[in-house]
Amino acid sequence: MTDSYAQFLGVEVENFGNGHATATLTIGGDHLNPHRTAHGALLYSVIGSALAAAANNDTHSGVVSSIHVDYLAPAYEGDQLVAVAELAERAAREDIFAIRLTRPADAVTVARASGRATRREKKPA
């Protein structure tokens, strides 16, 4: 499934299935806030892109119902960021995910998040 919003931002999403996905972005000048750091809404979007990809598979559509983000460190123009979403818990109708957004160049965790996605069975095409 194509994520047009992620593509618009420059986020590359890799869906590994089974509740795991990775989203990668290199911070550009258009991603900065007035403090010259990556805008919090952008970081949220990278996290959300990884979560959405992890919540979807061949048989179910995961509809994200909440994301809680703790912003821990700034990111700057030129930084590459990687968000990894992992299934943490499976309930009857929803999945809970843990997401970590890191800057691999110096192993800094920029943000950590948790999110929920309701599972809906995909209808045959």
Give the pLDDT band of residue 7 (cuts 50, 70, 90).
very high
CATH code, 57: 3.10.129.10
- Cα-atom radius of gyration of the chain, to the nearest Å? 14
The model's pLDDT over 19-57, given as tens digits with 9 standing for 90+, comes to 999 999 999 999 999 999 999 999 999 999 999 999 988
What residues does 109 pair with on adjacent strands? 102
Give the integer Cα–Cα distance in Å for 9 and 5.
6
Q: What is the three-class DSSP state of 45?
A: helix
| Residue 91 CB-half CA count within 13 A | 10
Q: Which domain holds residue 64?
A: 4-121
Under 8 Å between Cβ of 84 and 16: no
The structural domain count of the chain equals: 1
User: Average pLDDT for residues 69-80, to the nearest whole number?
Assistant: 98
Q: What is the three-class DSSP state of 104?
A: coil
pTM of the model: 0.92
H or E segment and range at residue 52: helix 40-55
